[in-house]
Structure formats: structure tokens, C-alpha cells
Amino acid sequence: MIFRDRFSKYRTLLSEWLALPWVRFVALTAYYLGILVGLIALYGRGDFSTPPFIYQNF
């Protein structure tokens, strides 16, 4: 298939590059730092109070 052959050399190059230990370490560190930044952005306000109870008339 022409489409598959067209990108096979790039896929091989990328897989060889990502197999390097230092590249994997940097990529995983950036991934986990992104998760931490996202959690800090979501919950960084420090307001962990529960919302008011809706069904008070039961």
C-alpha cells in the first residue's frame, strides 16, 4: 500500500528515537508535569468545600 510505505520510514525513525532512555525519561517527565499543572489549575484555589445539599425538603 502506497500510504503505508510513505510514512513507514518516519514511523521507524520515531520509534527508534523514542526507544532512547533519555528521550523516554524527558517525555514521561513532561507528561507527568503536565498532569500536575492541570491538577493545580483545576484545584489550586484551595476551595475543597462540598456543594450545598440540594434535597433539603425530604
Contact 24, 18 (CB under 8 A): yes
Residue range 25-40: mean pLDDT, rounded: 94
Query: Across residues 5-19, what is the average pLDDT?
Result: 84
Query: pLDDT at position 30, please?
Result: 97
If one counts the domains in the chain, the total is: 1
Question: Is 48 a domain residue?
Answer: no
pLDDT given at position 2: 55
**Mean pLDDT confidence for 19-38:** 93
Highest mean pLDDT pick, 4-13, 25-34, 37-46:
25-34
Residue 6 is assigned to a structural domain of this protein: yes
The one-letter amino acid code at 10 reads: Y
CA gap 9, 3 in Å, rounded:
12
31 within domain boundaries = yes
Give pTM, 2 decimals.
0.58
**29 found inside a domain:** yes
Structural domain includes residue 22:
yes
Domain around 12:
2-41
User: Residue 18: CB partners within 8 Å, gap ≥ 6?
Assistant: 24, 27
Helices (H), ranges, 1-58: 2-18, 21-43
